[in-house]
Amino acid sequence: MRKILFRAKHVDDGGVFANEWVCGDLCHYANGTIFIRQQETGSAFEVLQKTIGQSIGQKDRTGKDIYEGDIVECRGDICKVVYSDHFAGFALDKKGWAYLHFFGEAFNNEDCAVIGNIYDNPELLKGGIE
């Protein structure tokens, strides 16, 4: 069975992990609170809903996991990783281009390196994509 992981930023609660990225299982509680539970430790962290991104199940050329919301450099182009309803899968988005499948004719994960994400590094998108 494949492992489905999510990543999100921990809420700013003044604690040690405030605003840190956490990865694991996505949990929704009846009161509307969303947590990520780390499988290894069993710890659960309340996260900011707007920062939740799913792992695409692939690594970049440096071995780093790629998540929805990441900004990647692919053959000199700067793109963001998005989920495409049109393709029913993860794709690269670059202003002026159609969505590009990760495994399509344009790029594959070995062509790409994660250089940031849309939450911590929005400046990387300037002039490239919106």
Q: What is the pLDDT of residues 14-27, one digit of tens each?
A: 887 788 999 999 99
Residue 102's pLDDT band (boundaries 50, 70, 90)? low
Instruction: Report the predicted TM-score, pTM, of the whole model to 2 decimal places.
Output: 0.86
- DSSP label of 10: B
- Residue 117 burial class via C-beta count within 10 angstroms: exposed 0-12, middle 13-18, buried 19 and up: buried
Task: Say which amino acid occupies 75.
Answer: R
Pairwise CA distance, residues 73 & 107, whole Å: 11
**130 or 97, which is more confident:** 97
Pairwise CA distance, residues 75 & 119, whole Å: 23
pLDDT at 116: 96
Residue 96 has pLDDT above 70, yes or no: no
